[in-house]
Amino acid sequence: MALINRKIGYDEVETRDLVFNMDRSKVCKYWFNNDPWNTLFMSGVLAAVPDGERWVMQSVRKQLDMLSDPAIRKAGIEFIHQERIHAREHDVMNKASIEHGIPMDDIEKPFKKVRVFLQKHLSINMQGALGAAFEHFTATIASVLIEHPETFKDTNPELLGMLFWHFVEETEHKSVSFDVCTDAAGGGFRAYLLRVTAMTSAAAAGAAVFAAPFTYLLYKDRQLTNFASAKNFFRTQFVDPGVLRKVGSMFFPYYRRDFHPWDDDNREVIHAWKREFNRSGDTTKAFYALCDWLAVNRSTDTSELKLVPNSAAS
């Protein structure tokens, strides 16, 4: 049975094979505003990104021949290309953090073991449904941070160029694994039951993915009692912009029968980034063009962001 969906984002998905060379000179130890708690939290999440990206792209690849809708299949192929590049570039960034003494490889190892176990014991469709659930979380995080670049007011501009490239592409393909999962399962109530079961499992696993690596990194870096940094963390994640608070608010809509990722249609935001990138081919310029657009259209105060370096100046 062909899936009847909104497809509004399919023409957004575009492969950009970019190399950022995020070595330790560009990724300082506390790269997120020189703040340990926020950096270690994000590092704990990013430690799982390369293998997680490879997992979801493998899941989609296995489902391609199960699809009845050629538009979804085409978007799925672009999704695979994007995720392959994301995994490669975050491998490099994670290596830089490891060189600074952040043991992200300790987090990657158990995550890989869990991934191998799930791939061995779960059906292809359930793996795809879990991938769709995790993609919903990453797209939500990307959506919040794209609209709040001021969160990174003291972060290396070149690193921001890479991160916001990733956020934009996560937004571009935010419906792809969802639609692949739904179409591969044949649509209807069976597909709905599959995706909500997977989301319940993913939410439980996601809480562990957020909390356990973060606590471990704080302990290893002797930052558990850095209360000033803890205060910054709780403000960022739960107050302004409230990343985790907003991720939580997007959890329950996923359980609606008529839910679709593009219910949150934020294409105009990523278009501000894409226009400049298509003009200049420079992700740092594209980041600052996005900031300018938000200042005008969302009244976002980006005045405290670092000045654009010469390499990114117009």
Mean pLDDT of 266-292: 96
DSSP 263: G
Neighbours of 303 (CB within 10 A): 9
Residue 79: both structure tokens together: 């999704």
What is the distance between the alpha carbons of residues 204 and 214, in angstroms, rounded to a whole number?
A: 16
Query: How far, in Å, are 29, 233, 241 from residue 34 at the CA level?
Result: 8, 12, 18
Query: How far, in Å, are 97, 105, 124, 201, 212 from residue 220 at the CA level?
Result: 13, 13, 37, 29, 12
Identify the sign of the CA torsion 139, 142, 143, 144: positive
- Residue 173 sits at the vertex; the CA angle it makes with 294 and 30, to the nearest 5 degrees, is 60
9-24 tens-digit pLDDT:
788 999 999 999 999 9
Diameter over CA atoms, the chain: 56
261 Rama class: left (phi>0) / alpha (psi -120 to 50) / beta: alpha
114-138 tens-digit pLDDT:
888 888 899 999 999 999 999 999 9
What is the distance between the alpha carbons of residues 198 and 200, in angstroms, rounded to a whole number?
A: 5
Mean pLDDT of 75-104: 97
- Count of residues for the chain? 314
Please check whether residue 72 is in contact with residue 12, taking contact to mean a CB–CB distance below 8 angstroms: no
Statement: residue 204 has pLDDT above 90:
no
Would you give the distance in Å from CA 132 to the centre of its chain? 12
292-312 tens-digit pLDDT:
999 999 988 887 776 544 333
Neighbours of 167 (CB within 10 A): 26
171-197 tens-digit pLDDT:
999 999 999 999 999 889 999 999 999
